[in-house]
Amino acid sequence: MIKILARPFPFLCEPRSTALVIIDMQRDFVEPGGFGASLGNDVTRLQAIIPTVRALLTLWRQAGALIVHTRESHRPDLSDCPPAKRNRGSPSLRIGDVGPMGRVLVAGEPGNQIVEALAPRASEIVIDKPGKGAFYATGLHEMLQARSITHLVFAGVTTEVCVQTSMREANDRGYECLLVEDATESYFPEFKAATLAMIAAQGGIVGWTAPSNQVLSAFLS
């Protein structure tokens, strides 16, 4: 059992039953020319967390613990992308449109791939999710149960959308969840700050938050 100094109080976990879940570190969200940039966002904010996420990824690999990567992606025929999602707002590129990195958020396209610095290994789980949450219309819960996973440590983007949604889904399924504060990011700093506060509020209503140095030091001690 290890103890991570976290908010609102220490997070206790066993490495063998704790998975690292890296949410949507895809080129379409993180790199110029992708879907995130097409919405008018500054993607450099998201790029800045790559070294921290990579440090966590390296730590989990060295520990031989479970790693899960997610990608928000849709079938080429968009049969799993409801019009209410595709038609929202006025982006210069919609899901399924052809952009500089291929069709936006479509499985198999270059922009749908995880950034090279965080590329999954063959032994790691990769979840293609059609929604914002990692558990919706995926087999993630069953995969985690089969491996006796009880605790989840989250990283990735964006904090207030896919990361928070996945944490809330996990909480409803009985997982103890921690979000690594400097390994997640939003295009909007105020949204990230509000999400971190919401997660740890009311005695950890959704889970815990902690900076990466506390996670790293706890695993290495």
Annotated catalytic residue within 13, 81, 162, 177:
162
Q: Which of these is catalytic: 24, 81, 177, 192?
A: 24
Q: Are 191 and 159 a contacting pair, CB within 8 Å?
A: yes
Plot region of 10 (φ>0 → left; ψ -120 to 50 → alpha; else → beta): beta
End-to-end CA distance of the chain: 11
Do you find a cis peptide bond into 8, omega within 30 degrees of 0? yes
Given the residues 129, 132, 177, 192, select the one marked as catalytic. Answer: 129
CA distance 99 to 92: 10
24 is annotated as an active-site residue: yes
Looking at residue 11, what DSSP letter applies?
Answer: E
Asked if 132 is an active-site residue, the reply is no
Exposed (0-12), middle (13-18) or buried (19+): which is 89, by Cβ within 10 Å?
Answer: exposed
Residues with catalytic function? 24, 129, 162
